[in-house]
Amino acid sequence: MVELPPPDLVTPRGAYLTERLAHLEAWTHYFLHAEIPILASTAMALEELRLIEDDVDANNLTAFIQSDPLMTLKVMAMVAKLRRPGTTTPTETITTSLVLMGIAPFFRHFGPQLTVEGWLSDQEQALQGLQNLLKRADRAGQFALAFAVHREDTDAQVMHLAAFLHDFAEMLIWIHAPTLANTIQTAQLADPTLRSSVIQRGVLGIEINDLRQSLMKLWHMPELLINISDDRHANHPSVLNVVLAVRLARHTMHGWNNAALPDDIEDIARLLNVSPRAAMSYVRKVDHPV
């Protein structure tokens, strides 16, 4: 058996951010050029596939990439650079992104990757915070896909992607500014009634949702994905589909007894055009499929 190289072979990270940046533009510029480490399991899987590159197709790669929001983000941002200016049919899924890029160019561009486990090896709390967020992203994506399928929405896969990537800016904060991320989490735990946006402005000087939208636009993400990811347009069914999936994932991360859950279920019932009881039964089945 061929021995695999360790995933972390990229130039080591610099110092973490310990103080907030001046404004949204400064935060955006920082993350446009920042390293984005990925899960160690994803990094190792990519190295295993690299050894059999000639036998790999887009579906093989997709199975690993779309289980990791950070690697998904890197691929989507890279493929956006390959699209011709003014294109009217932007790539919106990982599989079609890989088909556009090509397997050999993918492996040439994405060499051995830094891992979040290595990056945050000296930041145990931040690593745990990030891992919780990654688990929540997976749950949000599954809920969003289930809601969209129930609604017979033709953009179901984009809904899944939007919910899966919804918290990527917060993930980047955990990775590059762990002390600030911990401060936000501590404030939220100390007073759950405080709005997250208020805490974020107090600690970071910005709202993380604004950072997300700014980065997606500058990375030239698909327009449909950007629009569906914009919480400010939650009156649109597609956006509401994503918003409610993210809310439900957040409120059920530690069980189904959260005080906000009844309101979530009422809103989900309206979205799906079913009774609250049927909505609860449906989301429980999504969370625990037979």
pLDDT digits 0-9 by tens, 117-147: 999 999 999 999 999 999 999 999 999 999 9
* 179: in domain: yes
Of 71, 99, 115, the last residue of a domain is 115
DSSP of 130-196: HHHHHHHHHHHHHHHHHHHHHTT-TTHHHHHHHHHHTTHHHHHHHHH-HHHHHHHHHHHHH-TTS-H
Residue 1 confidence (pLDDT): 34
99 plus 192 within the same structural domain: no
For residue 228, give Cα distances in angstroms to 6, 76, 160: 37, 15, 10
277 plus 236 within the same structural domain: yes
148 plus 272 within the same structural domain: yes
User: How many domains does one find in the chain?
Assistant: 2
Of 83, 115, 147, the last residue of a domain is 115
128 plus 272 within the same structural domain: yes
**What global pTM score does this model have?**
0.90
137 plus 110 within the same structural domain: no
How do residues 9-39 score in pLDDT, each as one tens digit?
A: 444 555 799 999 999 999 999 999 899 999 9
Residue 2 confidence (pLDDT): 35
75 plus 140 within the same structural domain: no
For residue 142, give Cα distances in angstroms to 97, 160, 165, 226, 277: 21, 7, 12, 19, 20
Of 88, 115, 142, the last residue of a domain is 115
Enclosing domain of residue 96: 36-115
88 plus 43 within the same structural domain: yes
Q: What CATH number should be reported for the domain holding residue 129?
A: 1.10.3210.10
* 243: in domain: yes
Residue 146 confidence (pLDDT): 98
Low-confidence spans in the chain with pLDDT less than 70? 1-14, 83-92, 290
Which SS3 state, helix, strand or coil, does residue 90 take?
Answer: coil
